[in-house]
Amino acid sequence: MNKPLLSVVVPSFNEEQNVEPFYFALKEVLDQSHYRFEVIYIDDGSSDSTLSLLQRLSTWHPQVNYISFTRNFGKEAAILAGFQHSKGDCVIVIDADLQHPVEMIHELLDGYEEGYDQVIACRNRKGDNFVKTALSKVYYKLINKVVDVQLEDGAGDFRLLSRRAVDALLILSEGNRFSKGLFSWIGFDQKVVHYENVSRQNGESKWSIQKLINYGIDGIVSFNLKPLRICFYMGGMILLAALAYIFVMLTQIVRTGIDVPGYFTIISAVLFLGGIQLLSLGIIGEYIGRIYNETKKRPHYLVKESNATKGKRYERIQ
């Protein structure tokens, strides 16, 4: 019988220090398994020598494929490109920076053989700074109350997906892809395996505070309309409170006549309402922005060059 094929998708953005060490670590692990494998590196518009290292690596190692984007399209686009070009019976998404321990692949494959369609490698937060850990905890507590899919702290993109799970993801055609939510949205039987957090050895993280905040907002508005509903309720409650206030003031005026001092009340009402209106507009704007982006139907990424054969050059799934 033919050995099953495993595709390993590796988003890489300015990872010149990691491309080769990662591949050799990965190869060592995969050589011990009974899978054939292909590795799909996605060079996400790197400005360092990542691409030339990949070209070199692929000439010596036929299992190595690379897709190079014309610019930095982001990790989500890179993962999508990897899925679209993958031919494996199952696919693993893993970071190039060795922060996702390659040895975990054995456990992921075990889960796959047990029949799970998604085997998720979940990290703890050892070594992360205290503020980041605390903020993430609060964020995930809150977000899981608001969104319709379950998002788990520590469960990122490092996971194995069966072919049918990958195909399910490829049917989802949205332009703004929030992988964490999409993985959860498709469902299927899932198994979680845990590993100890590893700090980055080479290069630096591409996550700035700004990017993290944007990612947080994506998480909230990509998967539900509840924030809009909250605006609706807030508006309703404030309207009721205002009506009650007007009623009280009117009865007071009828009873005691017009009372001029009212500076504090007016200013507080104006500021409070102004704040709420701006917040609501912002939330509505987020959704409208997304609709605008979706209507443009732009491709998720453009390919500058690639040695992978499957898939179109300018991909947009419909």
Binding positions for Mg ion, rule: CB under 5 A: 97, 99
Distance CA 56, CA 71 (A): 20
> Which of Mg ion, ligand UDP, none does 181 bind, CB closer than 5 to 8 A by kind?
none
Nearest residue (CB) to Mg ion, 105 versus 149? 105
The answer to whether residue 11 forms part of the interface with ligand UDP (CB under 6 A) is: yes
Nearest residue (CB) to ligand UDP, 33 versus 99? 99
Strands (E), the chain: 5-12, 36-43, 64-69, 90-93, 118-123, 155-162, 190-195, 303-306
Sheet holding 155-162, edge to edge: 190-195, 118-123, 155-162, 90-93, 5-12, 36-43, 64-69, 303-306
Neighbouring CB atoms inside 10 A of 152's CB total 14
Stretch that binds ligand UDP, among 200-208, 218-226, 242-250, 279-287 (CB under 6 A): 200-208
Q: Provide the minimum distance between the beta carbon of 29 and ligand UDP in the complex, in angstroms, as a whole number.
A: 17
Distance CA 230, CA 236 (A): 10
Nearest residue (CB) to Mg ion, 26 versus 303? 26
Stretch that binds ligand UDP, among 54-62, 89-97, 215-223, 239-247 (CB under 6 A): 89-97
User: Which one of residues 56, 206, 226, 304 is an interface residue with ligand UDP (CB under 6 A)?
Assistant: 206
Distance CA 127, CA 109 (A): 27
Stretch that binds ligand UDP, among 74-82, 169-177, 243-251, 260-268 (CB under 6 A): 74-82
> In one letter, which amino acid is 64?
V
Q: Provide the minimum distance between the beta carbon of 58 and Mg ion in the complex, in angstroms, as a whole number.
A: 23
The answer to whether residue 197 forms part of the interface with ligand UDP (CB under 6 A) is: no
The answer to whether residue 69 forms part of the interface with ligand UDP (CB under 6 A) is: no
The answer to whether residue 136 forms part of the interface with ligand UDP (CB under 6 A) is: no
Distance CA 293, CA 174 (A): 10
Nearest residue (CB) to Mg ion, 37 versus 158? 158
The answer to whether residue 219 forms part of the interface with ligand UDP (CB under 6 A) is: no
The answer to whether residue 97 forms part of the interface with ligand UDP (CB under 6 A) is: yes
User: Which one of residues 74, 101, 154, 181 is an interface residue with ligand UDP (CB under 6 A)?
Assistant: 74
Distance CA 49, CA 24 (A): 18
Neighbouring CB atoms inside 10 A of 189's CB total 13
The answer to whether residue 38 forms part of the interface with ligand UDP (CB under 6 A) is: no
DSSP element (H, E) containing 253: helix 226-256
Neighbouring CB atoms inside 10 A of 287's CB total 13
Q: Enumerate residues 6+ apart whose C-beta is below 8 A from 166.
A: 83, 86, 91
Count of residues of this chain found to bind ligand UDP when the rule CB under 6 A is applied: 16
* Binding-site ranges for ligand UDP (CB under 6 A): 11-13, 15, 44, 72, 74-75, 78, 95-97, 99, 205-207
